[in-house]
Structure 1
């Protein structure tokens, strides 16, 4: 399920220049929203960070909410795409291994995006009311139905509750972005390196697959 952006709050001119400028603006907005939050960020600060005139920001995104929604849309699209097309015929070993590896990599490469999403939820998701409506619930139920089908086929342990398995997948993988400061302090490091993220991927994959009764 992809997060649908309100077309009343965004404007998207076409072409390569659009793609280049949008990328610059979204990156600047991501940094600003992560640092100041939705309320604290301003279009002027985002324009300065992007090194573009403020008018250019409004040319692509009509207002701050539209830009914020675009940032969050990109986050959700990257997260959800791995589970969007799963079916009962798929191999849970392959699906879950791929999902865990991709989410950990996303935490390594896009930590600010994950923190923006986490901050939005911690504050009651005031800007995502439309996202958490019927379509979201239907998408989530669709994923759990696949997991239940796997259990019925003996592909995963029937004792595993699909809903809480998905919650575990979300929280454990995003932890490496949302709580990176705590992890770095615990490990005595200034920054996490590739080996840290690979160890996290290997450990979570081993624990979750084994806990689901999945063997290769």
Structure 2
């Protein structure tokens, strides 16, 4: 049993180190961008030797791509309810709730994604042309089905998705602006719940998904 415990402990230490590195990298990439970030700076923020970073992530690009992939995977998981929902009110409503909660809890990851795309996606263009394109096409098919079933107004699925992304991710990407307009304080729990309710009401009524 001892070797098993040692093996488990080693695995846990590895996972903890990777988590620490990714958290630091997310923060540094969000603040400095890919070009301004360095492996040394990320190591300093993580509180680890630079050699540790290169052990887990050989290059800055490999670390950056992992940060981007992580936030996208979190977004994909948020859309699971989208596919299984009975209709747009339930599916899109739950998607809005989940995406806004992600903006609340993972703002740095969202900022990294936004900065990358605004700069023409020099590192992850291949990801946009494959994973994102396939995901978007699948969700657009679900929206078209709801439209055909008369559950919502006939709107362009792509533009609806763009609006959902822009609205929910605004709370992460422009968090400082929101805090400033909120008297210099982050949104409270009650304010977050009110924001989710408002966004759902505006969008779902706008597409005819609510009575």
Aligned twin of 2:205: 210
Pick one of 12, 15, 19 that aligns with 1:19.
15
CA contact (8 A) 2:83 2:91 kept: no
Report 1 or 2 for greater relative contact order, CA contacts < 8 Å, sequence distance ≥ 6: 1
Q: Which has the higher helix share?
A: 2
User: 2-side partners of 1:94 and 1:144: how far apart?
Assistant: 16
Deviation digits for residues 33-65 of structure 1, max 9, x if unmatched? 112111111111111111111111111111100
Aligned twin of 1:7: none
Give the TM-score, by structure 1 length.
0.87
User: 1-side partners of 2:83 and 2:99: how far apart?
Assistant: 20
The verdict on how the C-alpha distance between 1:138 and 1:108 changes in structure 2, with shifts beyond 3 A counting, is closer
User: 2-side partners of 1:210 and 1:75: how far apart?
Assistant: 29
Which contiguous aligned blocks of 4+ residues in structure 1 show a shift greater than 3 angstroms? 84-90
Provide structure 1 residue ranges, at least 5 long, that are not aligned to the other structure: 1-13
Q: Secondary structure at the match of 1:155?
A: coil
- CA displacement at 1:139 relative to structure 2: 2.5
Moved more, 61-70 or 131-140: 131-140
Aligned twin of 2:60: 64
CA contact (8 A) 2:82 2:92 kept: no
CA contact (8 A) 2:25 2:67 kept: yes
Provide structure 2 residue ranges, at least 5 long, that are not aligned to the other structure: 1-9
The verdict on how the C-alpha distance between 1:126 and 1:163 changes in structure 2, with shifts beyond 3 A counting, is same
Q: Secondary structure at the match of 2:48?
A: coil
Pick one of 75, 79, 93 that aligns with 2:75.
79
- CA displacement at 1:84 relative to structure 2: 5.0
